[in-house]
Structure 1
Amino acid sequence: MTDLLTAALNPSSIAVIGASENPHKIGGRPIAYMQRMGYQGRLYPINPSRRELQGLACYAALADLPEVPEMAIVIVAGDQAVAAVEDCAARGVRCAVVIASGFGETGAQGRAQQDHMRDVARAAGMRLIGPNTQGLANFGTGAIASFSTLFTEMPPADGPVAVVSQSGGMAAMAYGLLRQRGLGVRHVHATGNEADVRVADLAWAVAQDPEVKLLLLYLEHIANPALLAATAAHARQRGLPIVAVKAGRTAGGAQAASSHTGALANEDRVVEAFLRRHGIWRARDPHALALAAPGYLQGWRPAGRRLVIVSNSGASCVMGADAAEQHGLSIATLSEATRRELAARLPGFATTTNPIDITAALLSNSGLFSEVLPVLAQDDAADMVFIHIPVSGAGYDVERFARDTAAFARASGKPVAVAAWQESVAQVFRAAGVATYANEDEALGALAQVAGHTALLREPLPVLPTSAPAMLPAGEGLLNEADSLALLAAHGVPVVAHRLCRSADEARAAFAELGGPVAVKACSRDVPHKSEHGLVALNLQDADAVAAAFTQQWSRLAAMGAAQEGVLVARMQHGRHEAMVGAHIDPQFGPVVAVGDGGKYVEAMRDVALLVPPFAHGEVVQALRGLRIAPLLAGTRGDPALDVQALADIAVRVGGLISAGAGRIAAIDLNPVMLGPAGQGAVVVDALVDLGGAGTRPAPGPRS
C-alpha cells in the first residue's frame, strides 16, 4: 500500500484539532462517526477547554498527546488553522485534513496562506488534504475524517463503491444516491482546494483497495492527468470501471468552477478526449454517476448494444423502443428459432417479435417470465434485456417475477434492467438483486452507459512510435510552408506536389515540370497567413503568369521586411471536400490532435473531433462519425463516400509526429486537406509547423 493509502485512508491514530462535545457540530461529527463505525485506531480530541469529550480523554494541545498521531483533522479556522498545520508538520504528523475554509477560494490573501500551508507540509513530508474540504471517510476501517451530515441522514454501509470528489457536496450527493439504491460505499473522499493532495492522488490510492469494484470521480479540473492516466491503466488491468463527472463543460460552468476552487479550468473538449483515451466514462451529473452503478457491480459486460424489450404492456414496448433509440441502442432482430419457441410459450395474441408484449396474461400465468427469458438467453442477437412492468401489484406474483428475472440474469450473464414505477414492485426486484429503475429512460440510460463503457475498455491500446521524428529542423518558431511540407512528407503524410523557387526562371521550370494549373504562394516563416497580404495566386495556366506572380510576391516580401525564403509553386489539388488535421501541446494533457471539417470557416464552425495520442485508425473514423459533416463523409444525395480512411491515416501520423517530437513541436496545422472519394486518398495542400519557443503561433485557419 502507498504511504498516502496508509496515512490518509487507514491511519492508526487520529487527532481532532478543534474537537467538540456536540456530535452535531463540525468539530464533533468525525468523533461521533468514528465511534459509531467502530474505528479501531487511537482517537485524540484536542480542545483546551475540556478534559473529556464524547467519552474520550481530551487534550489541550498536540504536544500533550501520548504519541504523534498519524493523521490530524484541523477544524479550527483562519490563522489558527495555519498554526495547527505548522504544528502538525513540526511534530511529524503524516497527514493533515484541513476542513477550515477561507483560503485559496477567497482570493490572493487566502491563496498565499494556502500556499504557505502547502509549503510547510511538503517540507516536512506531510500530506495535506484541503483546505476547504469536507474530509475523508473510509467505512471499511471506520476512519472518518469528515463532517458530512449525510452520514447521519443515510447511515453508512461498507461496500464495493468508492467516491473521490473535489467537491464535498458532490461527494455527499453521490454517496446519498448510491445508498438510496441500497448500495454499500466504502470510500467517500473530498479534496477541496487541493493545495497538495488532488483527486488523482486519492483515486490512485483507492484503486489499490482490492475491495473496490467501482470508482466514481467528480472533477472541476484535472491537475495531474499523468497520475489519473496511470490510475486508469491500473484500473483497466484489474477490471475496475471508472466513471467521472467533469464539471465546467460550458464557458459559464468553467468560470464557476474556477471561482469555486481557485483553480484554472481545462478546455472541455480536450478533457473529453483525455477521458475517452484512458477508458474513463464521462457522466453528465452525479445522478448519472450513480445511475449505472448496480449494473457495473453485477458485472454487466454486454457484447454489443442490441436490446430485447419485454413488457406486459404494448404501449410500454413502444415507449421502450423510442427510448432505446434515443440512447443509441438497437432493437435486436430475433432469430426464427427464437420466435417459434416464444410463440409456443406465449398466448396466441402475444407479440413474439422484439419488443415482446407478453400482455395481461402475466396476471393469470405468473410463470411467463420463467418461460420467455430462457428462450432469449439462447439468442446471440440479445446483448441486453430490458423489462418494463407498468402494471403490477395485488393479484400478481411479483416475488416470482423478480426471482425468475434474477435467475435468468445469473444463468445467462446478460445485463438485465427493470423499470417499475410502483415502489412496492421495485423493492421486490431490488431485493432479488435485479437492477431496477423508476422508468425506461433511467433503465436504458444505465444499459447504454455500461455498453458504451465496455466497448471503450475493449478497444486495444495503440502504442506510440518509439523513434524520434526524422529531419526535425534546428531552431525554434514557425517553419515556412516548404519546410513544414517536407517534415510531413518525411513522416509519410501525403502532401501536394510542389517546388520551392528562388527566381522567376525556377518558377517557370517548376510550372513546366508540374503542369498547370498551379498555385503560387510566397514562402516565409514571417507570413503564415498569406492571402490577406496578396501573396497567393491560384489557377495559373501558363509559365508567364507564374513568373509574373513570382516577381510580384518576391517584391512584396521585401517591402514587408519579411524573410525571402522562396516562392512555392504547387499543383492545384482538387478534392470533394476540404478537411483539416491539427495538433498542439496542451499545457495539462500534452499532445492533442484535431480532425474534421476544414477550409476558411474552420474556426467559426468548429466541427472537429479531438483525440489524445496514441490512437488507431478506427478511433479516428469513429470520432468523425460524430461530426455534423458525417453524412457528407459517408456520401449523400448521390455524392460518393469520401476517403475517411486516408484522412484517419493522416491524423494517426500527425499524432505520432507531435508525440515523438519530444516537446519540440508545439503545433501542427494542416488546412485544407483535400479529401477525395473513397479509395482516392487525401492530400495536404497547406501546412504550418510550429517548433515553439520564440515563434508566435497564429490562429487556426487557411493560409492560402
Structure 2
Amino acid sequence: MSNLAAALDPRSIAVIGASENPDKIGGRPLLYLARFGFRGEVIPVNPRREEVQGLRTVPRLSDLARAPDLAIVAVPGEAAVAALDECGAMGVKVAIMMASGFGETDSEHGKAAERAMVERARARGMRVIGPNSQGLANFGTGAVASFSSMFLEVPPLDGPVGIVSQSGAMSVVPYGLLRGRGIGVRHTHATGNDADVTVCELAAAVAEDRALKLLLLYLESIPDPHQLAQAAEVARSHGLPIVALKSGRTAAGQAAALSHTGALANEDRVVDAFLEQHGIWRARDTADLVEAAELYLKGWRPEGRRMVAISNSGATCVMAADAASAAGLALAPLTEDTQGELRTILPSFASVRNPVDITAALMTNSGLFSQILPVIARDPSADAFLVGVPVAGRAYDVDAFGRDTAAFAAETGKPVVIVAPQELVARPFRERGLPVFPGEGAAVRALHQFILHHELMQAAAGRSKVAAVAPASPRPPRLLDEAWSLARLAAAGIPVVPHRLCRTPEEAVAAAAALGGPVAVKGCSPDVAHKSELGLVHLDLSDAASVAAAFEACRTALARHGSAFAGVIVAAMRRGRRELMLGAHRDPFFGPVVVVGDGGKYVEAMPDAALLLPPFDEDDVRRAIGRLRIAPVIAGTRGEPPLTLDRYLTAAVAVGRLMTQNPRILSLDVNPIVVGHDPDDCTALDAVVFESDEEVDTP
C-alpha cells in the first residue's frame, strides 16, 4: 500500500491524544470512525486512561506490536512534534498533524520547527498531512479522520463528489452545500499548511478514484503545479472534471515586471492560463464552485453551445435569451420543419422559433409538454435545453411536467436545466434527477460552465504533455540591448525589421542609404529597456544630415542619463494595419508564460492580452486572440478586410518554443509587431530580452 493510499483507505488508525469527549479534537475522530462504519482497527493512544469511548487504549504508540497505517496527532505544541517523531520511528505511513502554531504563523520558530519535523518524517519514509489540518474524510470506507463539526450537523452520504482543500472550512462548506441539494460526497480532505503532502499531490491521489464524477478543489496557493497537472491528467484519463476555486492574489514573480510582459502576466492571470491549459474550470466563489454540480453527475457529453429555451412564460423566455447571450450560448432558431410541427400543437399566439413560448395555454392543457418535447428533441439545431416553469399550481399537472421532461432528457442525451423558483414545481423535476435552479441566470451560468468545461477538457487532452518546470536561474537578470534582443528573436524564426547596429555617424548614414527609404534611428544600450521616454527614438528620417543628427542626439541622451552607449540601430520604417505585441516571462512556479495581444505604447495603460503556457500550437493562439476586445477589429469591421495573422501565430509559437528550450531567457517583449492584410505583413519593430547574468554571445 502506498503512503497516500494509506491516508485515503487505511487498514488501521491510531489517534494520539485520544479523548473521551467527542467534542474535543482528539475525541471527534473516534466518534466518526465508529459512527460512519470504518472497518479497520482503531487504536486510541492516551497514557492517562485505560479506555476511551469504549476502546482499549495504549499509553504510547511504541507499545504497539506493529505500526498503524495512519496516525492522527491530536496533541498540541512540542508534544505534537514528539508524537510525530515517534510515528516516524515506528514506521507509520502517514500522519495527520492537527496541531497548529507552525508554518501558518509569522513566527520564524514555528516555520523552522515545521520544516525540521517534516524533514525527519521524510527521512524515515513517512508522509505528513498538515500541520494545521482539520483532517481527511473518506465516506466510501468510513475512514473519517477529521474533527470537523459539519458531519454532525449535516449527515454524510457516500457519493460521486470529492473535495480537496487547503482550508479546513472550505473542505466542508462545499460539502454542506452539496448535501443540502441531496448530493452525496465521498471525499472531503483538508491539507492545512501543505508542509509535506500538498493539496495538489492529494488531489492527484483522489483523482484515481473511479467512482468520482466531479472533483472540487479549494486552493490558496499552488505549491507544486506539476502535481496539479498530474491530477488533471489522471482525472481526464477517465473523464473526471475538476472545478477549482483559487483565492488570493500575491506579488510572487513580479520581479518580471521590468518588462511589459511582467506587468500583464500577473500571478492570478497565470493561474487562469495554467488551469485552462490543463482543463480545470476556475470557479469565481464558493457558490460558483458547486453551482453546476448536478450537470456533471448526469454523464452528459455536450456537443455544442446552441441552447433551446422552453417556457410557459414570455418573461422567462426573454430573460433566458438575455442570459444565454451574455454567456455566449447561441439561441439558434429551430428548423422550419420543427416550427411547422409545433404550430400544429401550440396556439396561434405562441412563439415557436426559439425561445419556445408555450404561453398560458399550459394551464388548460398540461399535456403540451409531452406533445412538444419529442418534436424539439428531433431538431438538429439544439445542443442543450432550458425548461422554465416559473409559476404553476392548481390546474397544472406539475408531476407530468417532471415526468415528460425527464423522458425528454433521457431521449436526447443532451444537457437539460430547469428553472422553477416554486418548490411545488421544482420537486417533481428534482425527484427525477434533473438540475433545478431558482432563476434563469443561475441555470444558464451552470449550463455555460458545463459546456465550456467539457471543451476545455477536450482541448487539454489533445495537447502535448507538459514537462516539469525547471528551476529559474538564481542569477540576476541581465538586459540585452536591442541589437542582441532582435538577434535572439531572428535566430528563433521570428520576423524582425531589417536593421543595422552602427557605432559611428558615418556607419549610420551608410546603413540608411543601404536600407533605402525613410528609416528609424534608435539609441542602443544594455542599460535602457524603454527608449521613448529618454528621447532615444527618431522616426521617418530621409536624409543623411537628419540621420547623423539623430545619431548624435542618441549618444548625448545616453550620456546625460549615465547609460552605456552600444551604438544606434538604423532600421527600415515598417507600418502595418495594426500594432500587436508578443511577450514572455518565466514564472517562478509555472515556468514559461507567453503573452499575446494588442500592442503599442498604451499596452500597459489599456491592456488587452491573453496568456498561454507552452506547449501550445497556432490554433491555441488563434483562440486566445479571438477572446480579446480587439478580436472584431482583427476580423475586419466597417468593410475592412480581416488582418492576416498566420505569421504572427507562428511567431507566438516560436516564442513559446524559445522560452522552453532556452532557460537562460527570463523575459522578453516584442512590441510593436506590426501586422496587415498581406500574409507577409508581420514584422517585429522592437524587442527587449532579459537573460540570466551569464556570458552571452554577441549577435
Partner of 1:531: 532
Partner of 2:239: 239
Per-residue deviation, 1:396: 2.5
Supply the AA of the counterpart residue of 2:506: D
Per-residue deviation, 1:552: 4.8
Per-residue deviation, 1:416: 0.4
Distance in structure 1 (CA, Å) of the matches to 2:150 and 2:442:
24
Supply the AA of the counterpart residue of 2:517: G
Deviation per CA, 1:261-320: give whole Å up to 9, x if none.
xxxx98101100100111100011121111111111112222111111111111211121
Supply the AA of the counterpart residue of 1:345: I
Per-residue deviation, 1:453: 0.7
Distance in structure 2 (CA, Å) of the matches to 1:120 and 1:65:
21
Which deviates further from its counterpart, 367-376 or 84-93? Answer: 367-376
Partners of 1:302 and 1:414 within 8 A in 2: yes
Supply the AA of the counterpart residue of 1:595: V
Supply the AA of the counterpart residue of 1:297: L
Partners of 2:309 and 2:387 within 8 A in 1: yes
Partners of 2:130 and 2:191 within 8 A in 1: yes
Q: 1:694 to 1:491 in 2, by over 3 A?
A: closer
Deviation per CA, 1:467-509: give whole Å up to 9, x if none.
xxxxxxxx98333222221221222211111122233333222
Partner of 1:469: none
| Residue correspondence of structure 1 range 204-223 to structure 2 within 5 A | 204-223=204-223
Partner of 2:302: 302
1:84 counterpart = 2:87: no
Partner of 2:57: 58
Partner of 1:259: none
Partner of 2:523: 522
Partners of 1:620 and 1:651 within 8 A in 2: yes
Partners of 1:4 and 1:205 within 8 A in 2: no
Partner of 1:386: 386
Partner of 2:592: 591
Which deviates further from its counterpart, 220-229 or 675-684? Answer: 675-684
Partner of 2:624: 623
Aligned to 1:657, the other structure's residue is in SS state helix
Distance in structure 2 (CA, Å) of the matches to 1:440 and 1:534:
56
Deviation per CA, 1:395-443: give whole Å up to 9, x if none.
3222222122112112211100111112233222121111112222221
Partner of 2:430: 430
Deviation per CA, 1:53-103: give whole Å up to 9, x if none.
222112222123343111111111112111111111121111111112222
1:344 counterpart = 2:344: yes
Aligned to 1:421, the other structure's residue is in SS state coil
Distance in structure 2 (CA, Å) of the matches to 1:533 and 1:418:
61
Partner of 1:361: 361
Partner of 1:120: 120
Q: 1:556 to 1:443 in 2, by over 3 A?
A: closer
Partners of 2:251 and 2:267 within 8 A in 1: no
| Residue correspondence of structure 1 range 25-36 to structure 2 within 5 A | 25-36=24-35
Per-residue deviation, 1:557: 5.5
Q: 1:519 to 1:110 in 2, by over 3 A?
A: same
Distance in structure 2 (CA, Å) of the matches to 1:646 and 1:223:
36
Which deviates further from its counterpart, 579-588 or 420-429? Answer: 420-429
Distance in structure 2 (CA, Å) of the matches to 1:316 and 1:553:
66
Distance in structure 2 (CA, Å) of the matches to 1:496 and 1:266:
29
Partner of 1:657: 658
Which deviates further from its counterpart, 630-639 or 651-660? Answer: 630-639
Q: 1:5 to 1:343 in 2, by over 3 A?
A: farther
Partner of 1:693: 693
Per-residue deviation, 1:158: 0.9
Deviation per CA, 1:633-653: give whole Å up to 9, x if none.
344456554344443332222
Partner of 2:131: 131
Partner of 2:490: 489
Partner of 2:511: 510
Supply the AA of the counterpart residue of 2:79: Q
Partner of 2:262: none
Deviation per CA, 1:93-126: give whole Å up to 9, x if none.
1111111222212212222222222122111111
Partners of 1:301 and 1:450 within 8 A in 2: no
Supply the AA of the counterpart residue of 2:318: V
Aligned to 1:691, the other structure's residue is in SS state strand
Per-residue deviation, 1:245: 0.5
Distance in structure 2 (CA, Å) of the matches to 1:202 and 1:534:
55
Partners of 2:576 and 2:681 within 8 A in 1: no
Distance in structure 2 (CA, Å) of the matches to 1:313 and 1:555:
75
Aligned to 2:221, the other structure's residue is in SS state coil
Supply the AA of the counterpart residue of 1:98: M
Partners of 1:641 and 1:678 within 8 A in 2: no
Question: CA RMSD for the aligned pairs?
Answer: 2.6
Aligned to 1:330, the other structure's residue is in SS state coil
Distance in structure 2 (CA, Å) of the matches to 1:666 and 1:251:
17
Distance in structure 1 (CA, Å) of the matches to 2:438 and 2:175:
19
Per-residue deviation, 1:37: 1.4
Which deviates further from its counterpart, 60-69 or 12-21? Answer: 60-69
Supply the AA of the counterpart residue of 1:296: Y
Supply the AA of the counterpart residue of 2:450: V
Distance in structure 2 (CA, Å) of the matches to 1:121 and 1:647:
51
Supply the AA of the counterpart residue of 2:205: A
Per-residue deviation, 1:377: 1.7
Per-residue deviation, 1:627: 3.1
Q: 1:266 to 1:92 in 2, by over 3 A?
A: farther
Deviation per CA, 1:172-228: give whole Å up to 9, x if none.
011111111211111101111111111111111011111112111110110110111
Q: 1:350 to 1:528 in 2, by over 3 A?
A: closer
Normalising by structure 1, we get a TM-score of 0.91
1:312 counterpart = 2:312: yes
Per-residue deviation, 1:602: 2.1
Q: 1:242 to 1:695 in 2, by over 3 A?
A: farther
Which deviates further from its counterpart, 552-561 or 645-654? Answer: 552-561
